[in-house]
Structure 1
Amino acid sequence: MTTHARLTFHGPLSAERATAIVERLAANRPRTVLDIGCGWGELLLRVLEAVPAARGTGIDVNETDLARGRREAEARGLAGRVEFVAESARGTVREPADLVLCLGASQALSEAEPPTGEALASLRRLVSDGGRVLLGEGFWERTPTETELAGMWPGARADDHFGLAELLDLAVAAGFRPEWTETATHSEWEHFESAYQADQEVWLAANPSATEVRDRLDRHRAQWMSYREVLGMAYLTLVPVQR
């Protein structure tokens, strides 16, 4: 059964927004790019395509995603400029990079709940002066109700995320200035959530006796319906304050 084949990015990010983000990041001409919790590293690869002199590293603990990233790099002629490494980002001692990507992966940098504040402090250590951080981080578009929380991921709480204004304040407190603030649209969320399960749903329609798969898909869809139009995704382009 094919999974995630219809996903270009592992998050609510459209091709149009990705193109604009890459153009903005490429204008700073980064020489080194570090992608935290990279998955298959689609945005990392697009940055390397846009900046031929740059070299990149993607780190993640999911070997399946890393293997997909390596295949994509090979197919696009980027294998000599990027490496995908099976590695935890917590406590990483990697050298600062000119561009650090962390898209929906702040939990890879911290065990705190929520991880955002500690993750931002780590990102400040991992980016060179004059560089950029692109942080993709969830936020509450509004305070969720108890009923909505009960339908989300197990143990979901109102303090799992911040509001957008609080998120920006945390970034500033960690030593950044926000160069660009944007948030995923509901259309981007719907595309992501639909593509996330589409191949499995088609498979299940032809294999209706697969109860474990059906239960998992139904559970995720119910969770999505609970955080739909409640959970947002912010894409923050952050500039480190000179020390």
Structure 2
Amino acid sequence: MTTHTRLTFHGPLSAERATAIVERLAANRPRTVLDIGCGWGELLLRVLEGAPEARGTGIDIDETDLARGRRSAEERGLAGRVAFLAESARDTGRGPADLVLCLGASQALSDADCPTAEALHSLRRLVSDGGRVLLGEGFWERPPTETELAGMWPGARADDHLSLAELLDLAVAAGFRPEWTETATLPEWEHFESGYQADQEVWLAAHPDATEVRDRLDRHRAQWMSYRGVLGMAYLTLVPVQH
């Protein structure tokens, strides 16, 4: 069964927003780009297309996603400028880089229950002075109710995420200034969540006796309905304060 073929990005990110982000990041003329928890690295590849002098490294532990990234790089003539590596980001020595991407992957940098603060300190270490960090991080649009938390991921707690204001304060405390702050829209979330399951839903319609797949899809849909409009995604372009 194929999965995720409807998704361009592994997160609630539209093509229009991605284009604007890439233009802003490429204007800083990065020569080295590091993508933490890169998945198939679509934004990394778009940055390399927008910054022809740059070379990129994407690290992740999902071999299937990394293989997709390598195929995409080959198809776009970027294979000579990017490496997709199967390794942990924890305490990585891959930096410092002129641009560090970390989209929905702060947990790759920390074992903490709420990894944001520790991840931000790691990102400051991994970015060059004068460079940029693009952090994609979940936040609460509003405090979740106990009923909503009970329907989300297993063990969901109110302190799993911060508010947007608290997230920005943490970034400043970690040694950054926020150059640009933007958040995913509900249509971006709906495109992502629908696309995340679409291939499997179509397959299940033709294989209705696949109870394990059905249970998994129904469970995820119920979780989505519990955090829909409650869980947000912030895209923060951060400038490191020079030492």
Normalised-by-shorter TM-score class: over 0.9
Which secondary structure state, in structure 2, belongs to the residue aligned with residue 94 of structure 1? coil
Deviation string, structure 1 residues 102-146 (Cα, Å, up to 9, x no partner): 000000000011000000000000000000000000000000000
In the alignment, the residues of structure 2 paired with residue 90 and residue 178 of structure 1 have an alpha-carbon distance, to the nearest angstrom, of: 24
Aligned position for 2:219: 219
Give the letter for the 1:31 counterpart. R
Give the letter for the 2:132 counterpart. R
Deviation string, structure 1 residues 127-178 (Cα, Å, up to 9, x no partner): 0000000000000000000000000000000000000000000000000000
Structure 1: runs of 5 or more not aligned: none
Q: Does 1:11 align with 2:20?
A: no
Identity across the alignment (%):
88
2:107–2:115 CA contact under 8 A, matched in 1: yes
Give the letter for the 1:23 counterpart. E
Aligned position for 2:24: 24
Which secondary structure state, in structure 1, belongs to the residue aligned with residue 12 of structure 2? coil
The alpha-carbon deviation at position 2 of structure 1 amounts to: 1.1
Aligned position for 1:190: 190
2:34–2:95 CA contact under 8 A, matched in 1: no
Aligned position for 2:163: 163
The alpha-carbon deviation at position 94 of structure 1 amounts to: 1.8
Give the letter for the 1:173 counterpart. A
1:1-243 alignment runs, 5 A limit = 1-243=1-243
Give the letter for the 2:51 counterpart. V
TM-score, normalised relative to structure 1: 1.00
Deviation string, structure 1 residues 164-223 (Cα, Å, up to 9, x no partner): 000000000000000000000000000000000001000000000000000000000000
In the alignment, the residues of structure 1 paired with residue 158 and residue 114 of structure 2 have an alpha-carbon distance, to the nearest angstrom, of: 10
Runs of 4+ in 1 over 2 A off after TM superposition: none
In the alignment, the residues of structure 1 paired with residue 185 and residue 92 of structure 2 have an alpha-carbon distance, to the nearest angstrom, of: 33
2:31–2:98 CA contact under 8 A, matched in 1: yes
Give the letter for the 1:80 counterpart. G
Give the letter for the 1:48 counterpart. L
Which secondary structure state, in structure 2, belongs to the residue aligned with residue 2 of structure 1? coil
In the alignment, the residues of structure 1 paired with residue 217 and residue 95 of structure 2 have an alpha-carbon distance, to the nearest angstrom, of: 40
Give the letter for the 2:229 counterpart. E
The alpha-carbon deviation at position 45 of structure 1 amounts to: 0.1
TM-score, normalised relative to structure 2: 1.00
Structure 2: runs of 5 or more not aligned: none
Deviation string, structure 1 residues 33-71 (Cα, Å, up to 9, x no partner): 000000000000000001111000000000000000000
The alpha-carbon deviation at position 91 of structure 1 amounts to: 1.0
In the alignment, the residues of structure 1 paired with residue 188 and residue 160 of structure 2 have an alpha-carbon distance, to the nearest angstrom, of: 22
Give the letter for the 2:180 counterpart. W
In the alignment, the residues of structure 2 paired with residue 10 and residue 229 of structure 1 have an alpha-carbon distance, to the nearest angstrom, of: 19
In the alignment, the residues of structure 2 paired with residue 119 and residue 199 of structure 1 have an alpha-carbon distance, to the nearest angstrom, of: 33
Which secondary structure state, in structure 1, belongs to the residue aligned with residue 225 of structure 2? helix
2:6–2:199 CA contact under 8 A, matched in 1: yes
Which secondary structure state, in structure 1, belongs to the residue aligned with residue 77 of structure 2? coil
Which secondary structure state, in structure 1, belongs to the residue aligned with residue 47 of structure 2? helix
